[in-house]
Structure 1
Amino acid sequence: MEYNHMLEGEQWDSFRVVDGEFPDEKDLEKYDGFVISGSSHDAFQDTDWILKLCDIIKKLDDMNKKVLGICFGHQLIARAKGGKVGRARKGPELCLGNITIVKEAATPENYFGEEVPANLRIIKCHQDEVLELPQNAKLLAYSSMYEVEMYSIKDNFLCIQGHPEYNRDILFDIIDRVLAGGHIKQDFAETSKATMEKNEADRKFWQKICKNFLKGQPSLLV
């Protein structure tokens, strides 16, 4: 799944906010939804582009726009809305992870559909986490590693710590690159790859959740 994989009638625009490329505020209204993706930067940094993105998140909230936050986006939305973000207390994750769905919170309007799974597999690649949710956020999923794996705010924010768009090849490429760069050790790399020996991420289910959220059509999830 790629966020900019277009279906008929869709138009996607990309902005490299890390390079200072933002949509004009006067153009925000023309978009039906937004995706804030992953980043190698920390969501708790106070660099100019991160602070500006926090301001835009607040504006999008005021406009009731749909915003999907992935990994860094998941963390930054929590920060912008009054939550707390920091280094992961149990350490980084670079693997296929299993998260537990909070069934009483994951109702059809959260785009899971009527058959809410107990668990979902998703590829994880991060060293930071949401330490404290914003006051009006609803926890949708957690894991043995992290208390906040997925949450929503009202009907316009859906945030996921893992990467629903990643597949095995992407994960292995990242592992190889960070190993070559000396950021992880060989045994950590081998353990990370071993998580995908017998299982795959639930990418089709995640794809439907994300698309249904952005389109506001939970009935599409079958």
Structure 2
Amino acid sequence: MKVQKERRFALLMAARNSDYVKKVYGGYFNVFVEALAGEGEKWDLFRVVDGEFPHMDDLHNYEGFAISGSPHDANGDEYWILELCYLLKTLFTMQKKVLGICFGHQVLCRALGGKVGKAYSGWDIGIRKVYEVPVGAQVLAYSDKTEVEMFTFGDNILGIQGHPEYTKDILDNLIDRLVWNNSIEKGFAEEAKLKLKKAEADRKYWERICKSFLKGRWIAQSQTYF
């Protein structure tokens, strides 16, 4: 009887857990695993925001990688961001599947030769229908807020500006925290929450897109959380 080899994937975590997500879900890693993992898979966590990276000699053991969102600037020069860019270039050369979400989407673009700049129009929160990408990349989705909501580069790179892994309660808590620390105005927050009550993001649809990409079953207008 042939024993099927365990499929391994890795999450490159570029953010620290919020108190809410840690209390309710046990951390963002569990949120991502719930959204992306399938039966018979092993997912490893590397907290790149804290300087924890996979060893270069181990990269070949993984079928795919996902990069989380982050409050950090993808164009910043912190050591871990520069090291992450180097890792992503290496994974691209190795033709490894890499899924970037929000910050991950932006840092992928930067690492592979695209242009990333600050969004002076402010935070984009809520639901949207769905940079300057590297030469050879293909833009698959855009919105009135962001010119590149989704792009591919070859068969092994996918960047998504939205958050397919977010649940509505996670987004509600994020909005509350942004109001509390004066990152967004209360009126903007109330408008975003009202939109969340009126419409439901096609979360399962976007999860299928991400899973199909990572696992070699690449299949996108729909809606996702921001």
How far off its partner does 1:185 sit?
A: 1.6
CA contact (8 A) 1:70 1:161 kept: yes
What is the CA deviation profile of residues 56-76 of structure 1, one whole-angstrom value per residue up to 9, with x for unaligned ones? 001001100000000000000
- Name the amino acid aligned to 2:81: I
- Residues 66 and 156 in structure 1, CA contact (< 8 A), matched pair in contact too: yes
Q: Unmatched 5+ residue regions in structure 2?
A: 1-29, 220-226
Structure 1 residue corresponding to 2:82, chosen from 42, 51, 55 = 51
Q: Is contact 2:123-2:184 (8 Å) kept? A: no
Question: 4+ residue stretches of structure 1 with deviation over 3 A?
Answer: none
The answer to whether residue 119 in structure 2 is matched with residue 88 in structure 1 is: yes
> What's the TM-score once normalised by structure 1's chain length?
0.82
* Alignment partner, residue 20 of structure 1: 51
Tell me the secondary structure at the aligned position of residue 69 of structure 1: strand
Q: Is the 8 A contact 1:167 1:201 kept in 2?
A: no
Aligned to 2:19: none
TM-score by length of 2: 0.80
For structure 1, list consecutive stretches of 5 or more residues without a partner in the other structure.
100-130
Separation in structure 2 between the aligned mates of residue 142 and residue 197 of structure 1, nearest angstrom:
23
- Contact 2:150 2:160 (8 Å CA) reproduced: yes
Please list, as runs of the form range in 1=range in 2, the aligned pairs for 1:41-80 lying within 5 A after superposition: 41-80=72-111
The counterpart of 1:2, out of the listed 31, 43, 55, is 31
- 8 A Cα contact 1:212 1:218, kept in partner: yes
- Matched to 1:178, the amino acid is L
The C-alpha deviation readout for 1:112-140, integer Å capped at 9, x for no partner, is xxxxxxxxxxxxxxxxxxx2110011000
SS in 2 for 1:165: coil
- SS of match in other structure, 2:116: strand
| Corresponding residue for residue 170 of structure 2 | 170
Between structures 1 and 2, the one with greater strand share: 1
Find the aligned partners of 2:181 and 2:64 in 1 and give their Cα distance.
Answer: 36
Q: How many angstroms does 1:218 deviate by?
A: 3.6
Q: How far apart, CA to CA, are the structure 1 residues paired with 2:197 and 2:40?
A: 38
Post-superposition offset of 1:43: 0.1
SS in 2 for 1:86: coil
1:8 is displaced (CA, Å) by 2.0
1 or 2, which has the higher helix percentage?
Answer: 2
> AA paired with 2:32?
Y
Aligned mates of 2:109, 2:64 — CA distance in 1: 18
- Post-superposition offset of 1:88: 1.2
SS at match of 1:59: helix
